[in-house]
């Protein structure tokens, strides 16, 4: 056990939830869809949309218990997340240490399925491929752009021929301003279309007005990446009856950021989000698709694909 920067009560919670420690402040956890791919041959929607291999995806965070926001929909223990001001920057693990540690942790986690391979319940070839991940989702928990060397972290993964997915809440536009090593996919999570909604749904630690302006700056910077190699993605999470009725507001954000892709995805009542919301707030796949098609008309993006099991629709602009 390491996690020297994490309080003991949070260490116990994370271990109980099957997070694997990496260094002082990072973590790995096996994705639900990775386990589904190994056991049942079912794959994450990103495999269909972007061509990744679900069973070879490493899901990690370099800031496991720190986030700027305490979002209603988050399945993580957002009430227990630490104020980002407590994330010490003077003695953080270097990017190479995190990359090597995350690969080791992933192999340790997947190694627990070796018995199922021996029993013939998991394909041996898939298992061996999973033990050698070739893409990373830097999105697991916490806000990855709090890590000041995220650009170098992406570079270290890319040096090892990884596809790289970075998912950010947009609260740290300085990451986008100084980015040199583009991830394969760069996501910004969209839940709100105005400052008041942002305060209610995403509940920032800092002043909502200031954080909202930083978020808008990140959206604006996304447009400057339009002609680069990075796939820019807006992930819009719909919460039924809360943020599913402002097409004009979403149009303004999309026109500002000009992402290459827009994912419209349902809030799913899983994890600790069930204590804050629950099933009544989870739209059906058909409701998500109906909303996505209306949005596509408003912003002139084309319907591209959908995955019903994940309640997600992909638009391309």
pLDDT per residue as tens, the chain (317 positions) = 589 999 998 899 899 999 999 999 999 999 999 999 999 999 999 999 999 999 999 999 999 999 999 887 887 777 778 888 888 777 899 999 999 999 999 999 999 999 999 999 999 999 999 999 999 999 988 999 999 999 999 999 999 999 999 999 999 999 999 999 999 999 999 999 999 999 999 999 999 999 999 999 999 999 999 999 999 999 999 999 999 999 999 999 999 999 999 999 999 878 777 778 888 999 999 999 999 999 999 999 999 999 999 999 999 99
Q: Does residue 205 belong to any structural domain of this protein?
A: yes
Q: Give per-residue burial for 197-210: e unless 16+ CB within 10 Å, then b.
A: bbbebbebbeebee
* CA distance linking residue 120 with residue 206, whole number of Å: 52
* CA distance linking residue 39 with residue 47, whole number of Å: 16
Q: Does residue 116 belong to any structural domain of this protein?
A: yes
For 151, the domain range is 8-316
Q: Does residue 2 belong to any structural domain of this protein?
A: no
How many Cα atoms occupy the beta-carbon half-sphere of 1 within 13 Å?
A: 12
Model confidence pTM above 0.85: yes
Q: Give per-residue burial for 255-275: e unless 16+ CB within 10 Å, then b.
A: eebbbbbbbbbbbbbeeebee
Looking at the structure of the chain, the number of domains it has is 1
Q: What pLDDT was estimated at residue 143?
A: 95
Q: Does residue 264 belong to any structural domain of this protein?
A: yes
Write out the chain in H/E/C secondary structure: CCCCCCCHHHHHHHHHCCCEEECCCEEECCCHHHHHHHHHCCCCHHHHHHCCCHHHEEEEECCCCECCCCCCCCCCCHHHCECHHHCCCCCCCCHHHHHHHHHHHHHHHHHCCHHHHHCCCCCHHHHHHHCCCCEEEECCCCCHHHCCCHHHHHHHHHHCCCEEEEEECCCCHHHHHHCCCCCCEEEEEECCCCHHHHHHHHCCCCCHHHHHHHHHHHHHHHHCCCCCCCEEEEEEEECCCCCCCCHHHHHHHHHHHCCCEEEEEECCCCHHHHHCCCHHHCCCHHHHHHHHHHHHHHHCCEEEEEEHHHCEEEEEC
Chain length of the chain:
317
Q: Does residue 181 belong to any structural domain of this protein?
A: yes
Which residues is 235 bridged to in the sheet?
189, 263
CATH number of the domain at 273, please.
3.20.20.70
Q: What pLDDT was estimated at residue 1?
A: 58
In contact, 54 and 46? CB cutoff 8 Å? yes
Question: The tokens 């995190």 sit on which residue?
Answer: 98
Q: Does residue 122 belong to any structural domain of this protein?
A: yes
Q: Does residue 241 belong to any structural domain of this protein?
A: yes
């Amino acid at each position: 056990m390491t996690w020297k920067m994490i309080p003991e009560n949070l260490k116990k919670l994370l271990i109980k939830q099957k997070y694997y420690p990496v260094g002082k402040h990072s973590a790995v956890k096996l994705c639900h869809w990775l386990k589904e791919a190994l056991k049942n041959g079912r794959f994450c929607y990103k495999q269909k949309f972007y061509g990744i291999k679900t069973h070879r995806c490493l899901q990690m965070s370099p800031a496991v218990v720190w986030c700027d926001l305490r979002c209603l929909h988050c399945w993580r223990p957002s009430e227990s997340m630490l104020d980002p001001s407590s994330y010490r920057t003077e003695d953080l693990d270097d990017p190479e240490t995190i990359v090597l540690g995350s690969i080791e942790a992933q192999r340790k986690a997947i190694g627990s399925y070796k018995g199922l391979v021996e029993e013939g319940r998991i394909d041996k070839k898939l298992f061996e491929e999973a033990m050698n991940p070739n893409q990373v989702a830097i999105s697991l928990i916490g806000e990855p752009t709090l890590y000041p060397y995220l650009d170098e972290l992406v570079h270290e993964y890319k040096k090892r021929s990884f596809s790289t997915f970075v998912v950010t809440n947009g609260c740290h536009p300085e990451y986008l301003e100084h980015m040199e090593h583009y991830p394969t996919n760069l996501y910004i999570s969209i839940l709100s279309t105005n400052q008041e909604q942002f305060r209610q749904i995403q509940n920032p630690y800092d002043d909502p007005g200031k954080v909202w302006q930083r978020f808008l700056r990140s959206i604006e910077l996304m447009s400057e990446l339009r002609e680069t190699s990075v796939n820019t993605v807006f992930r819009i999470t719909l919460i039924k009856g809360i943020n599913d009725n402002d097409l004009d507001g979403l149009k303004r954000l999309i026109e500002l950021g000009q992402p290459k892709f827009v994912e419209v995805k349902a809030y799913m009542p899983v994890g600790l989000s069930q204590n804050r919301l629950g099933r009544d707030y989870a739209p059906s796949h058909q409701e998500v698709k109906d909303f996505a098609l209306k949005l596509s008309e408003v912003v002139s993006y084309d319907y591209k694909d959908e995955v019903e099991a994940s309640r997600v629709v992909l638009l391309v602009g």
